[in-house]
Structure 1
Amino acid sequence: METHDSPPLAVRPQAVPDHPDEGKTLLQRAVSSCVYLFERVMPDPFVIVILLTAMVACLALVFAPKGTPEVILTGWYKGIFGIFTFAFQMVLVLVTGYALASAPLIKSGLRSVSKLAVGPVSAVLLVFGVGAVATFLNWGFGLVVGALLSKQVARQVRVDFAWLVAAAYSSWVLWAFTGMSSSIALSIASPGNPLNIVEQHTHSAVPLAHTVFAGWNLLAGIAAMVLIPVVFILMRPADKDVIAADAALLEAEDKKVDDTADSRAGTFAGRLERSRICALLFVLAGVGYLAIQWTRHGVSLDINTVIFIFLLAGLCLHGSPRRYVGAVTEAAKVTGPMLLQYPFYGGIMGIMSATALDETVAHAYIHVASSTTLPFLSYLASGVITLFIPSGGGHWAVQGPFTIPAAMQLGASLPGTSMAIAAGEMAGSLLQPFWAIPVVAIAGVGVQRVLGFTLVIFLTAGSLLGFVYLFVVPVWAGT
């Protein structure tokens, strides 16, 4: 049997009972079944993308008006390379956010904030609240901040570590529809973006004021941010069931040696690499550019601007080019799956567009939906699609091309329908381990137990958002 080395977990191994389901509640048994599905049934996300590509190609052959093998292959090839710009932008969103969160000042701030936790309840509220704020600013930043704060809080309070990390992850998934780096919201807000499906059909972009900062979306986000921590408090593990973090492992991580010193430290090149002046000049130039643009054209946030702001902030807080390069290098280690899978998402989009399969699906959508039910149906479909396409950009590349035309023909709200897809992505991510992997890797805890807690959040918060998109958005967002 093939074996794989893995980093040590920051929790102590527990004895497995002879009868694992003995004494478990119905909910605990359901969680065990979910863990079994993740471990034994669901393959690697890259394999899922390959299978999904084959499935879409077969559907195009059977149902698409232009579904010939030549058109399918040509559309697939063009789609793979047509998404490169957006794919790199999404990778930079993660990398710049990760690098910013690892800056010494941010880490020191997290240590200070963690001291506010005096018990399990305050610990979970603190981790969730800080994680939600960080995620609102940037999803890559929030991803790392939540995991790092969980580790700091675990030093202060005896608390179930997986429960705490699950709270951090649950705060992070809110980025999909409430954060300024929401990939779907930024896509339709960025003129000329290859994934701005709305602009391709209406010739106009949708600003964040009509999506992330719309009143109905803020209401949904606030409701979710109130409900989720309440549910976490209610499902807090009993003291006898708590699996706390291993303090020895956490302390060992703090003692890792800084490798910034090298043989070139005293040379001209070494001094340049550590020069704060070099970093400051770059930051000042960037701030100057933003000041000029925002003064002349008003403040606007598209994907490039978000990336640029966090690039400047990260370089400023790290203080030198060398330190920032090291932070970016560490961040890049978790981007491999994104780099591999995004082109395949583009290929799927290319097949659907070239063969007109997206139009065929849109017509089918129209037959079962109305202007008031389309946002809700889009939300449900999005949650299912997220289980197979666990990334906002690739997800939107598949669902956007057939949902937006349907919304236009039915007269449904384009911002409301688009954000319904984003909210569905958030709900589905609570069951999809793809994005949980970086969190548990940073925290040092097993993913299975974390997903057991997030399953409950999926059922509760997911139901709340379903209510919002069925009854509130059609009335408030209008058409």
Structure 2
Amino acid sequence: MPSTSHTSAGHGAHPPVPQEASADAGLLSRLSLRFTAWAERWFPDAFVFAAIAVVVVAGAALLNGSSPQAVAKSFGDGFWSLIVFTMQMALVAIGGYVVATSPPAARLIRKLAALPVSGRQAIAYVAAISMILSLFNWGISLIFSALYVRALAGRLDLRMDYRAGGAAAYLGMGATWALGLSSSAAQLQANASSLPKSILDITGVIPFSQTIFLWQSVAMALVLMVVSVAIALWSAPDAEHAVTAQDLGVDLTEAKPVAPESAERRPGEWFERSPLLTLLLCALGFGWLAQEFMAKSPLIAISGLNTYNLLFFMIGLLLHWRPRSFLDAVSSAVPSTAGVIIQFPLYGAIAAMLTGAKGGAGITLSDRVAHLFVSISSVDSFAVVMGAYSAVLGFFIPSGGGKWIIEAPYVMQAANDLKVHLGWAVQVYNAAEALPNLINPFWMLPLLGVLSLKARDIVGFTFLQLLVHAPLVLFMLWAFGRTLSYVAPVMP
């Protein structure tokens, strides 16, 4: 793992950046850098946004006619309703981190780092790898891509703009992650046991074949990947104007092991250093996974979050080989899950207040919002209206999928009322949810910590991506949505 002596979680001070770099930047990049400098000063922690959302929804429920007792009861009833899903999503992040930091992954990174022949080409490589990995696991995408950027930055013969490289490494989270297996909304909708009853009663179970594996969804992901790589390539400063890691004062040296191999060890540590337990655990884990995939369709098997997480847990354990290496990686990964652990209970409480705190006429906030969207939308405009709304809300409630719990009750009720394809309604959310990630610093934190950068160092480049992605995504959601027909909910 990289040394963090230079900064802490990407919040250290950098030496002055060469003036000619910013002077030669494009107009959009200069404006976005000013915006992110403002955002870094005034943007509160993501938990604050979730807490504000709780207060706003509670106040709205009271205005809707709900009694204070009903609002408080809904808040408490919903607070722990996502405890299983919270743990599952935390393990997605941990599993991805563990795999990305394994010794084989480090060797692969070194080989990939030798491929590019120019700084701009290197940034295109980073962008492509980040987005491909994000389709399988957003945790792997963030950490592997960040480590790849550090390896590229260590090449003295390659002048790569370190900030643009960091922005390219974030494109998986900002463009494609929710359109693949990483999509917590699609995972949630495919698992009846994980869905809150308030949502299950509206949507039923929606398999992957009706969400992320629709040909329309695959086509949208491919378009976004091609466009994003092109923007990353063309917007990166050339070698003459590149701001390198050395210019920024980033320490690229690797941290030294806590205990060298030659150090004297206690006999009790033998199992930690031996691969014996790894082999036994992997035999059990992969044995179960083999039975699971033979007994079910692969799409159904991998759609189970428990199966998905066990697969990455076992792969990570095997790649680290020795339990001590695996445990060290897990310990390093845990801080990146703090936002998930502390925010998801609030999302559960919000969903419960939306659907459970009834007003005087027995109408909930979810009913009212769904009616509003039905009144201003049609089958033809649903994707654009809901996509724009979800993207805007995402600026204020950063989420790796937990926001779906808030939106699903009224979004999916509106989709049912308008007879919109329910799987595509999930994909509308998925595609739109990635947009605010391009400038919202919440999910940047793990990546920034590895790169020793600040959010403002990369958001100028990701903002440029957002300017292109927003209209492109909304257009594709509308165009592809017109090719799909409504399918009634399938109840478990």
Please report the TM-score for the alignment, with normalisation by the length of structure 1: 0.92
C-alpha RMSD of matched pairs (Å): 2.6
Q: Distance in 1 between matches of 2:392 and 2:134?
A: 23
Over the matched positions of the two proteins, sequence identity in percent amounts to 25
Question: Which residue pairs with 1:459 in the alignment?
Answer: 467
Confirm or deny: 8 A CA contact 2:211 2:424 kept in the other structure.
Answer: yes
Deviation at 1:44, TM superposition (A): 1.2
User: Does residue 1:362 correspond to 2:383, yes or no?
Assistant: no
**Pair 1:22–1:254, CA change in 2 (3 A):** closer
Confirm or deny: 8 A CA contact 2:383 2:477 kept in the other structure.
Answer: yes
- Partner deviation per Cα, 1:320-363 (whole Å, 9 max, x = no partner): 22211111000002222221111111111111111221111101
Q: Distance in 2 between matches of 1:85 and 1:260?
A: 39
5 Å-filtered alignment, 1:178-327, equals 178-195=179-196, 199-203=200-204, 205-246=205-246, 253-259=253-259, 265-267=265-267, 269-299=268-298, 300-301=301-302, 302-327=304-329
Question: Which residue pairs with 1:411 in the alignment?
Answer: 419
Q: Distance in 1 between matches of 2:102 and 2:446?
A: 18
Deviation at 1:97, TM superposition (A): 0.7
Question: Which residue pairs with 2:32 in the alignment?
Answer: 31
Deviation at 1:271, TM superposition (A): 0.9
Residue type of the alignment partner of 1:331: A
Confirm or deny: 8 A CA contact 2:91 2:309 kept in the other structure.
Answer: yes
Confirm or deny: 8 A CA contact 1:136 1:178 kept in the other structure.
Answer: yes
Q: Distance in 2 between matches of 1:247 and 1:279?
A: 42
Query: For 1:337, which of 336, 339, 364 is the aligned residue?
Result: 339
Deviation at 1:178, TM superposition (A): 2.0
User: Does residue 1:434 correspond to 2:436, yes or no?
Assistant: no
- Partner deviation per Cα, 1:94-153 (whole Å, 9 max, x = no partner): 011101111011111111111001102320121112212221211111111111111111
**Pair 1:149–1:196, CA change in 2 (3 A):** farther
Deviation at 1:234, TM superposition (A): 2.0
What is the SS of the residue equivalent to 2:181?
coil
5 Å-filtered alignment, 1:106-185, equals 106-156=105-155, 157-185=158-186
Stretch of structure 1 that moved more, 169-178 or 381-390? 169-178
Question: Which residue pairs with 1:398 in the alignment?
Answer: 406
Deviation at 1:261, TM superposition (A): 6.2
Confirm or deny: 8 A CA contact 2:30 2:460 kept in the other structure.
Answer: no
Stretch of structure 1 that moved more, 401-410 or 242-251? 242-251
What is the SS of the residue equivalent to 1:475?
coil
What is the SS of the residue equivalent to 1:159?
coil
**Pair 1:474–1:195, CA change in 2 (3 A):** farther
What is the SS of the residue equivalent to 2:253?
helix
Confirm or deny: 8 A CA contact 1:195 1:396 kept in the other structure.
Answer: no
Q: Say which structure, 1 or 2, has more relative contact order (CA 8 Å, 6+ apart).
A: 2
Q: Distance in 1 between matches of 2:408 and 2:382?
A: 13
Q: Distance in 2 between matches of 1:30 and 1:195?
A: 42
Question: Which residue pairs with 1:424 in the alignment?
Answer: 432
**Pair 1:7–1:185, CA change in 2 (3 A):** closer
Question: Which residue pairs with 2:479 in the alignment?
Answer: 471
Deviation at 1:33, TM superposition (A): 3.9
Q: Distance in 2 between matches of 1:144 and 1:32?
A: 24
Query: For 2:355, which of 333, 353, 366 is the aligned residue?
Result: 353
Question: Which residue pairs with 2:490 in the alignment?
Answer: none
What is the SS of the residue equivalent to 1:233?
helix
Deviation at 1:32, TM superposition (A): 3.5
Deviation at 1:56, TM superposition (A): 0.8
Residue type of the alignment partner of 1:169: Y
**Pair 1:120–1:20, CA change in 2 (3 A):** closer
Deviation at 1:266, TM superposition (A): 4.3
Deviation at 1:422, TM superposition (A): 1.0
**Pair 1:8–1:183, CA change in 2 (3 A):** closer
Residue type of the alignment partner of 1:171: G
Deviation at 1:222, TM superposition (A): 0.4
Stretch of structure 1 that moved more, 138-147 or 387-396? 387-396
What is the SS of the residue equivalent to 2:154?
helix
Which consecutive unaligned segments of at least 5 residues does structure 2 have? 1-6, 358-363, 488-492
**Pair 1:368–1:290, CA change in 2 (3 A):** same
* Number of equivalenced pairs: 471
- Partner deviation per Cα, 1:228-254 (whole Å, 9 max, x = no partner): 111122212244532101299767532
**Pair 1:336–1:105, CA change in 2 (3 A):** same
Residue type of the alignment partner of 2:210: H
Deviation at 1:13, TM superposition (A): 1.8
Residue type of the alignment partner of 2:231: V
Confirm or deny: 8 A CA contact 1:427 1:462 kept in the other structure.
Answer: yes
